[in-house]
């Protein structure tokens, strides 16, 4: 159940990037690359430091962990038919 928020966010952003292409695609995929490069623990510590110590906040962070993998897969899945048709 904790993977549902990350799947929803990742698939939505991946489809958005594939459909809109151009600068929006490049911007969203740059965001995906940045998120994938930073370890989860550092992101969690930064967010908890800024917004305060809260169990609800930590649960949201854990629920959103890994969204970048879903975004990249959804973008690639939507682009797959277009890649072979040219």
In contact, 58 and 43? CB cutoff 8 Å: no
Please report, in tens digits, the pLDDT of each residue of the chain (86 residues total): 467 888 999 999 999 998 888 898 899 999 999 988 989 899 899 999 999 999 999 888 888 888 899 999 999 888 766 555 55
Pick the closest to residue 68 from 25, 17, 23, 6 (CA basis).
6
pLDDT at position 84 is 54
pLDDT at position 58 is 87
User: What pTM, to 2 d.p., does this model score?
Assistant: 0.75
The domains of the chain are located at 4-84
pLDDT at position 22 is 87
In contact, 10 and 70? CB cutoff 8 Å: yes
pLDDT at position 1 is 47
């Amino acid at each position: 159940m904790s993977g549902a928020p990350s799947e929803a966010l990742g698939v939505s952003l991946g489809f958005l990037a594939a459909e809109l292409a151009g600068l929006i695609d490049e911007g969203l995929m740059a965001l995906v690359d940045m998120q994938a490069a930073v370890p989860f623990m550092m992101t969690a510590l930064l967010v908890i430091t800024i917004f305060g110590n809260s169990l609800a906040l930590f649960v949201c962070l854990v629920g959103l962990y890994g969204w970048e993998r879903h975004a990249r897969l959804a973008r690639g899945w939507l682009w797959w038919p277009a890649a072979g048709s040219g």
